[in-house]
Amino acid sequence: MERIGEPDHSPFIVGIGGTTRAHSTSENLVRTALHHAEEAGAEAKMFSGPDLMMPIYDVSDTNRDKKQQAFVDALRRCDGIIMCSPGYHGSISGHLKNALDYTQDLADDPKAYFGARAVGCIAVGAGHQGANSTLSHLREIVHALRGWPTPLGITVNSTEKRYFDSDGACLDEGLDQKLRYMARQVVVFAVMRFTARAVYPDWEVWPEYKEYFPKLRIEASN
């Protein structure tokens, strides 16, 4: 895949996914997508199931250990996100939802929560119904966090076939192509952000100034 990042600033993409079990299908899906993002020129950081094992979020407790702080700092710095959840009783796992609650630490940032970033959403379940409803909930959460869900969302029915080998390599060409396409959407959107910032440095925070349609300050050339 051709590289689409800027020579002096590669997009930084964060992957979030997995269960309490290492090397789960949801973890492998995100790792595969991140690999394709790296092929396109991005820098990537994965937070898998064990990394997401955090205490129940408590809004009154602002102390953060190294694991919690690393997660929040990566989300604060990133240019895009790819995340996957297993379908638990028709929705995302409590494990993932609790980790996402820590994004409240980003509420007062100039670029709050997932603001101005594309988020690729993937859901996996033991059947189509659970995977589809989980994907819908993931996309709703991204909207609530001010992110931009990619046009492509991916669902995987884990009962249909074996999708990954013991090393985490994708065995299904069609699925691999979907993950590659989603990764490219996240990276391309990040590069578009770089371009927008060059033209209008404050475009990402324009809602704070109540400018619902930011004015692009482009000087006319003579």
How high is the pLDDT of residue 218?
A: 43
Per-residue pLDDT tens over the stretch 6-34: 446 789 999 999 888 888 999 999 999 99
Residue in 218, 191, 158, 200 with CA at minimum distance from that of residue 25: 158
Tell me the C-alpha to C-alpha distance, in Å, between residue 187 and each of 62, 112, 201, 219.
Answer: 32, 20, 20, 29
Q: Does 2 have pLDDT greater than 60?
A: no
How high is the pLDDT of residue 146?
A: 93
Q: What is the dihedral of CA 105, 108, 113, 118, to 10 degrees?
A: -140
Q: Does 5 have pLDDT greater than 50?
A: no
Contacting residues for 45 by C-beta, under 8 A, at least 6 apart: 12, 13, 14, 15, 74, 78
216 or 197, greater pLDDT: 197
Q: Does 71 have pLDDT greater than 50?
A: yes
Is 35 in a helix, a strand, or coil? helix
* φ and ψ of 123, to 5 deg: -135, 140
The rounded mean pLDDT for the chain is: 88
14 or 211, greater pLDDT: 14
pLDDT band at 203 (very low <50, low <70, confident <90, very high): low
205 or 199, greater pLDDT: 199
Specify whether the CB–CB gap between 71 and 110 falls below 8 A. Answer: no
How high is the pLDDT of residue 169?
A: 93
Residue in 125, 148, 123, 151 with CA at minimum distance from that of residue 137: 123
How would CATH label the architecture of 12-209?
A: 3-Layer(aba) Sandwich (3.40)
Half-sphere exposure of 29 toward its Cβ, with a 13 Å CA cutoff? 33
pLDDT band at 118 (very low <50, low <70, confident <90, very high): very high
217 or 124, greater pLDDT: 124
Q: Does 196 have pLDDT greater than 80?
A: no
Q: Does 111 have pLDDT greater than 90?
A: no
How high is the pLDDT of residue 151?
A: 96
Per-residue pLDDT tens over the stretch 136-173: 999 999 999 999 999 999 999 988 889 899 899 999 99
Three-point CA angle 147, 148, 153, nearest 5°: 120
Specify whether the CB–CB gap between 153 and 122 falls below 8 A. Answer: yes
Contacting residues for 91 by C-beta, under 8 A, at least 6 apart: 133, 134, 137
